[in-house]
Structure 1
């Protein structure tokens, strides 16, 4: 016997649980399967608890620099255990929130490890034995995990992934961060602000390699000024661990190799989709480099079987997974939604300073054949930024010279992860430079820099 539902979802991360809620809103009976904690990696071990840690390091930084604001703070210190405890409490609060949402929307939650035993059937190993869930449709939303450094698996002692770095048994003295994507830079920023000696190694020629080249260059200079050692175009080899340290050979672009010693190593070299051992092979599901191949509605090549989120490929972002889930469910329900596209998904890095972007970089816009107009405006020209004591950074906008289309926007500085949404909305509405120029931005706000950057692309900047 099996339990029957209109929809069965394997995985409860931001893709899975949002898909479940939307399906319930549309009147479908839904079951969701989770082997660990509702909310998946993002809520429990990713997006949210890391932001709690970064908030702590931000406040610690301000306390150490209180004199700049006319304040006095002496004897500033921290308790690593309490910092970790706060981060875990934040994650726990949101996990409880997802549980409440599942109950509110009458979604059946099945705890256990699920496996596809048919295109529209999931068998779950639970504490009470196997439970078979049959659905008219099934969505795979099993997410991804951290990629290990080849030949050097994380041990939680000297070699860390993001999970270990969020609940550190001790404060690193010398931390080697391998990989300078968003995750690597965020943890480098956290530990550097908390007093660790941080070295960042990136195999590619610049940090944050998916960002605009000017943003990457600015971040490399800023992080170096903050005390980090930034090594791009650099290779790592001969990594060995002992009970007390880690030794690694670092080879710079000029071929110079040195052996360096670290207390801990944090590996942030990408992710691996959780597609193994869930029954895809037996069903003949097409994959591409380990990711499930889907169309714009999350449909796989197997009728009735869908996939969303990190298992379907980049960008590996929670908000991308959530929107994919909504499109997938609405298509299942016959609402005829627009096919999912990745052209307007914002990316955010919550380091100090923050980085945010959407659309094409300047170089990619040119490579795509666009004649571009580029505007830039610095934080130092903005009254609110100066008043906040956050005068480092800039906003950059890229337009098509012929049509005025906003091709891309790129920001670095305080609170840009909140500001970027303005440009995302503008692109979604197919706004041109004309509408952006005529929009009134409140004063004094950081958002005024967005306006000035647009004006600057057309030679009309007012305050710089």
Structure 2
């Protein structure tokens, strides 16, 4: 059986590649060993946001009195919350099935592996294998939870993010290792549910890739919510012999501190799925554990490509989707623009939310820029005050010579919905005064973008 394109993996890179290729007239097959939609749709982005929304509704109900509304004591139905999350993921996966059917994309169920003669061997769950041929092959196999030697996951008491989405009961206590987006979001969710949460981070700040001011603000928010935050700390070992886990942590003073928890969640990064997919057989080169590709995702082997978490760049769903489109359009003979990895938005869906793009203040100075900074706190926003959500701020960093936007760092309610304006501003080299003179609707949270730009040029009205 021969196709124009076979895609191995159906996550946000794989399924987007398949659909775009079908739109461009290719005969496409997708190999998938589990649910369509991959980790993001089934075990990551989508179900996590469902859990976080339930936690947000619970938080609203618990603080309804602040809005002049009387509500009986709100309690979480943990199993119903988990069930809702799984239902949302299942619905989205069925949506991918519909899109594949609409675009005449063939699904090959099983494990996909490259052969030495550049074919794809698909082995189903009964062990039966079949060979398929394609003019082009895209690898989009994604990643999995990273295993730390000191915290060996058993899937029950020491878990990864996947198990954290389907626990059969609400744990009384949880220790989360790693405060990136996954660790921070799940720490916030379980804390909102009533679990006693400790968040341990090796770096000096939580959300360590963010601007330092944002990281410090989210740490304050976590502590205010009741999360114990330990930075500059490392889990040395976990004793699993007792009813509660005993976690030995080397704290920021260099001392061993023992914490107890019912469950440990290891959320310290991911590992690319590059094993058992035939890379050695096909002669595909790796670089630092990821597949080596050019600007259009071509490997060193002709007609074989790789996208998403298994190549360089941030391991984000929207990045994988963008890479998929770029890759397929190049295969089809179009002239796509290479992705600018310096202009990728990052979002964390805690409360408050965090969103950013471009350089942090420290990076801008390190790179030799003379900068102007404008900040606008949501305490000065009429919409934020009316919504009872005035925690956080917007921070914009401009090149003082060119007046273009170097970086944008947002923390507050709904800021993940606001960041795209600033991604476009950076892409089109919009100046600070362009942002100031762009009329933003009132009252909205987005007005704070205009005000932050104005603050950088001493033109701010509402501060």
TM-score (norm 1): 0.98
Distance between the aligned counterparts of 1:359 and 1:316, measured in 2? 16
Structure-2 separation of matches of 1:292 and 1:47: 24
- 2:405 is the counterpart of 1:409: no
- 8 Å CA contact retained: 2:151, 2:237: no
Counterpart of 1:390?
389
Deviates more, 1:321-330 or 1:162-171: 162-171
Counterpart for residue 80 of structure 2: 82
In structure 1, the partner of 2:33 is: 35
Match of 1:160 in 2: 159
The number of residue pairs the alignment matches comes to 462
Q: Which residue of 2 aligns with 1:103?
A: 101
Q: Name the structure 2 match of 1:66.
A: 64
C-alpha RMSD of the superposition: 1.1
- 1:283 maps to which residue? 282
> Where do 5+ consecutive residues of structure 2 fail to align?
none
Rounded Cα–Cα distance in structure 1 between residues aligned with 2:242 and 2:155: 12
**Cross-structure match for 1:306:** 305
1:132 positional shift: 1.3
Give how far 1:282 is off: 2.2
Q: Please, which runs of 5 or more residues in structure 1 have no aligned partner?
A: none
Contact 1:119/1:305 (CA < 8 Å) preserved in 2? Answer: no
Secondary structure of the corresponding residue to residue 103 of structure 1: helix
For residue 457 of structure 2, what is the aligned residue in structure 1?
458
- Which whole-Å CA distance do the structure 2 matches of 1:145 and 1:194 have between them? 26
Give the one of 112, 115, 134 matched to 1:114: 112
Residue in 1 aligned with 2:222? 223
Partner of 1:134: 133
How big is the shift at 1:151?
Answer: 4.3
Kept in 2: contact 1:296–1:341 (CA 8 A): no
Residue 243 (structure 1) shift: 6.2
Match of 2:356, SS state, is strand
Q: Distance in 2 between matches of 1:238 and 1:445?
A: 48
Using the alignment, how far apart are the partners of 1:442 and 1:365 within structure 2? 30
* Contact 2:145–2:160 (8 Å) recurs in 1: yes
CA drift at 1:153: 2.5
Structure-2 separation of matches of 1:258 and 1:343: 39
**1:424 is aligned to 2:423:** yes
How far off its partner does 1:119 sit? 6.1
1:343 deviates by 1.5
| Distance in 2 between residues matched to 1:222 and 1:152, nearest whole Å | 27
What is the CA–CA distance in structure 2 between the aligned matches of 1:79 and 1:437, rounded to whole Å? 46
Deviation string 1:130-179 (CA, Å, 9 cap, x unpaired) is 12111111000000000122143222221111111101122111110100
SS in 2 for 1:31: strand
Partner of 1:360: 359
Q: Give the Cα separation in 2 of the matches to 1:453 and 1:93.
A: 39
Task: Report the counterpart of residue 44 of structure 2 in structure 1.
Answer: 46
1:320 alignment partner, SS class: helix
1:188 equivalent in structure 2: 187
Q: For residue 143 of structure 1, what is the aligned residue in structure 2? A: 142
Runs of 4+ in 1 over 4 A off after TM superposition: none
8 Å CA contact retained: 1:49, 1:90? yes
How far apart, CA to CA, are the structure 2 residues paired with 1:277 and 1:243? 37
Task: Verify the 8 A CA contact 1:192 1:227 in the aligned structure 2.
Answer: yes
Deviates more, 1:4-13 or 1:336-345: 336-345
Could you list the per-position Cα deviations for residues 164-223 of structure 1 after superposition, in whole angstroms to 9, with x for gaps in the alignment? 110112211111010000000000000011111111110111110000010001111111
Which region of structure 1 is more displaced relative to structure 2, 433-442 or 11-20? 433-442
Give the conservation status (yes or no) of the 8 Å contact 2:7–2:137. yes
8 Å contact kept, 2:118–2:282: no
Corresponding residue SS for 2:176: strand
Q: What residue is the counterpart of 2:10 in the other structure? A: 12
1:293 equivalent in alignment to 2:320: no
Query: For the Cα contact (< 8 Å) 2:16–2:325, is it kept in 1?
Result: yes
Q: How far did 1:340 drift?
A: 2.2
- C-alpha contact 2:376 2:448 (8 A) present in aligned 1: yes
- Alignment partners' CA distance in 1, 2:45 and 2:23: 26
- Which secondary structure state, in structure 2, belongs to the residue aligned with residue 250 of structure 1? strand
> What CA distance in whole angstroms lies between the structure 1 residues aligned with 2:28 and 2:236?
48
Give the conservation status (yes or no) of the 8 Å contact 1:158–1:245: no
Deviation at 1:255, TM superposition (A): 1.9
d(CA) in 1 for partners of 2:116, 2:304: 9
Secondary structure in structure 1 of the residue aligned to 2:136 = strand
What's the TM-score once normalised by structure 2's chain length? 0.98
